[in-house]
Amino acid sequence: MRTKELLSVLEKNKEKGLLFEYAPNLLVGTNYHITEVKHIKIDSVDCGGKTDAWNETIIQLWESPQELGKIDYMKVDKALEILNRVGNLKPYDNESEVKIEYSNAAFNTAQLYIQEFEVKDNAIIFKLSIEDTRCKAIDICGISEVKEKGLNAQISSCDPASNCC
């Protein structure tokens, strides 16, 4: 989801509770805070020597241990207030991909993509997912990908004679 899309969806749902599903049927706790918004500029070179550049907006969520018994989720209008304050200080690249950075005791820190959202009763739920790493120079490196679930999701056969790292 692009930054402009996220802000637009939030503007249309100001009165709702703001929930994040970081894994199937697992929600970020009601005690979360938006602790940081990062404007990231990526300038990369892949293993095949191809350069690329793009921007990302990273919204960091943190669960406060002092608010474990909190009942209600943050409202969208409060989140918008925070995001608009950030945008006034450091303007967004509205075309940048949004990622949600999150962890808890059972879930390692990850930057999660917004796959979709659902408006349900008095809440909007952003469903997050992790994107697997992959070789970006498949054609140069001679990599064959196998789409499977689990630890062995990618099988690589990088030819040592290729221009791959």
pTM of the model: 0.85
End-to-end CA distance of the chain: 31
The mean-pLDDT minimum among 41-50, 111-120, 142-151 falls in 142-151
Sign of the dihedral defined by the CA atoms of residues 18, 22, 25, 26, in that order:
negative
**At 79, which helix (H) or strand (E)?**
helix 76-89
CA distance 17 to 121: 9
Our separate counts of H helices and E strands in the chain read 3, 7
The one-letter amino acid at 72:
D
Tokens 């959202």 locate to: 117
Per-residue pLDDT, averaged over 10-38, amounts to 97
pLDDT tens digits, one per residue of 33-83: 999 999 999 999 998 899 999 999 999 999 999 998 899 999 999 999 999
Supply the Cα-derived Rg of the chain in whole angstroms: 19
Helix residue ranges, H only, 12-137: 76-89
